[in-house]
Amino acid sequence: MTAPDTTETAPDTTNGIACVILNWNGGARIQRCLQSLHDSRDVIVRSVVVDNGSTDGSIGVLRRSFPSTDVIEMKRNVGLARGRNEGVRWALVRGYRHVLFIDDDATVSEDTLSHLKKVLDASPEGGLVTPRIFDGNRPGLIWYDGGGVNLFGDPDHRRGRGGRSSGAPEEVTFATGCCSMIARAVFDRIGLLDGDFFVYSEDVDFSFRARAAGFLILHDPDAHAWHEQSSDTKANRGKWFRDYYVTRNKLLLFRKHYRRWRHLTANVFLICRWLAIPSLYFFLRLDFDRMKALGQAVNDYRKNRFGERFT
């Protein structure tokens, strides 16, 4: 890993925004993300890319196209949570008071970062704020319009074609890591993302911890972003990768944050929605690899095997 220079202090850190982007064979999509950040108006943007062991040459292209962007190179894929933590450390050492998490397959409008920063600056208790995120693959469809939990306690996005056209920021239950701005005070008080999650649910866990520490999770429908799911994300949706991490991490999330009846209802919902029904579906399709992934998720949870998948 190439360690950041901890002696550097940028002159714009007080009012600037440190944008943390993970790259893993990102190709052209991370360049679109960076360009949208650099086109932002009325804010000072400094981007840092944490490369999770890419092999596609995208870092070389990125260095040539965006020479002012800092790059932290990891020797291998350490996961989303631990990768983002490297970027957060880079930002905190340099004194930034606002950190933006954004996926490499997301883009923002020119005034989005300005909107989000104003929301945090106007709220003494504001800890995290998200924009309205549209589905980049299906025009007009909202991918995220605030995060909440259902009756049983399972977290999910508000989505669809409706939603408020505009209005004051509102409090929500959790912020998506796809695009969210975090005040430095949150990291100072609760620490970094929990690396035990590796990928999936780490953003919900962080939001729950922030709320427990007294911070507000806010959503600004006047700030807009677009999420164009990468080919890696689409491929993972139908493979053991997503089945394993989503299931194991939901179990971990519920154990960390729920008690008594809430823990019970969440686990019952998880057994039905994320275990029983998928297992029957996989069985009928003779997809035993995905059935095995669910079993491994439960087994590793019971044995406290977290972080990267135990092999």
- The total of structural domains in the chain comes to 2
Q: For a pLDDT cut of 70, what percent of the chain falls above it?
A: 91
One domain, residues 196 and 213: yes
Q: Is residue 1 part of a domain?
A: no
| Mean per-residue pLDDT, 81-106 | 96
Q: How confident is the model at residue 2 (pLDDT cuts 50, 70, 90)?
A: very low
Domain boundary among 197, 231, 265: 231
Q: Is residue 261 part of a domain?
A: yes
Q: Is residue 45 part of a domain?
A: yes
Best CA proximity match to 173, nearest among 161, 184, 158, 163: 158
One domain, residues 85 and 114: yes
User: CB–CB of 201/252 below 8 Å?
Assistant: yes
d(CA 227, CA 166): 20
Q: How confident is the model at residue 104 (pLDDT cuts 50, 70, 90)?
A: very high
Mean pLDDT of the chain: 90
What DSSP character marks residue 133?
E
User: CB–CB of 134/106 below 8 Å?
Assistant: no
Write out pLDDT tens, residues 58-81.
888 888 999 999 999 998 889 999
Q: How confident is the model at residue 56 (pLDDT cuts 50, 70, 90)?
A: confident
User: CB–CB of 102/228 below 8 Å?
Assistant: no
Phi and psi at residue 197, to the nearest 5°: -80, -25
Give me 248's structure tokens.
């194991």
Q: Is residue 161 part of a domain?
A: yes
One domain, residues 96 and 21: yes
One domain, residues 152 and 173: yes
Domain boundary among 231, 259, 274: 231
Dihedral of alpha carbons 265, 269, 274, 280, sign: positive
One domain, residues 26 and 74: yes
One domain, residues 221 and 254: no
pTM of the model: 0.92
Domain boundary among 231, 262, 288: 231
Best CA proximity match to 301, nearest among 273, 275, 276: 275
128, burial (CB in 10 Å: exposed 0-12, middle 13-18, buried 19+): buried
Q: How confident is the model at residue 22 (pLDDT cuts 50, 70, 90)?
A: very high
Cα end-to-end span (Å), the chain: 23
- The position carrying tokens 């962080």 is 206
Helix, strand, or coil (residue 221): strand
| Mean per-residue pLDDT, 87-115 | 97
Domain that holds residue 274: 238-302
Q: Is residue 6 part of a domain?
A: no
Write out pLDDT tens, residues 223-281.
999 998 755 555 555 588 999 999 999 999 999 999 999 999 999 999 999 999 999 99
- Whether the per-residue pLDDT at 11 is higher than 90: the answer is no
One domain, residues 266 and 216: no
Between 91 and 310, whose confidence is greater? 91
